[in-house]
Amino acid sequence: MGNSQCPFCIIKETDKDRIVFEDEQIIIFKDRAPVAEVHLLCIPKRHIKNKNYLTKNDLNLLNHMYITSREFIVLNYKDRLMNNINPIFGFHKPPFYSVKHLHMHCIIPPYTNKIMKCLNSCIFKNFDDVVREINEKE
């Protein structure tokens, strides 16, 4: 992975117990400060600073992040997806993020942190909106 100063680039060395899935392109792991009982992060192994640095060339990677995370959640948390609860997939809007490495939040409501639920609507952009934003670039 890319940046030796980035906590996500070195997560395999520093916090491997939180990792729940890994392939050639991505890592999925448990958030260290979850806002719901199920709160995972999906990161690309390639260091990308944030969603503003994504281009159309990254759409395949983004789709892989989404599809793989969704499949992981369906396989491992199907009991929590009852009653039409849909997982939330999205990214914080810069500058509202703590780690400067692209990371997609994968959350199954309900939220355990009511303040973050309210804040997320202001500082969070869902997956579909990020893809739409990238397609409108250039």
Alpha-helix residue ranges (DSSP H) falling in 4-138: 11-14, 59-76, 114-123, 127-136
More confident residue, 125 or 41: 41
How many alpha carbons lie under 13 Å from residue 15 in its C-beta half-sphere? 15
Rounded to 10°, the helix 59-76/127-136 angle is 170
Domain range list for the chain = 11-136
Q: How is residue 21 written in tokens?
A: 């899935």
pTM given for the model: 0.89
**Model confidence over 1-10: pLDDT tens digits?**
666 677 778 7
Least confident segment among 85-89, 91-95, 118-122, 129-133:
118-122
105 is catalytic: yes
Instruction: Report, as an integer, the average pLDDT of 32-61.
Output: 93
Cis peptide before 109 (omega within 30 of 0): no
Q: Using CA atoms, how far apart are residues 24 and 104, in angstroms rounded to an integer?
A: 17
Q: Which of 39, 47, 101, 105 is catalytic?
A: 105
Pick the CATH number of 11-136 from 3.40.50.720, 3.40.630.10, 3.30.428.10, 3.30.1330.60: 3.30.428.10
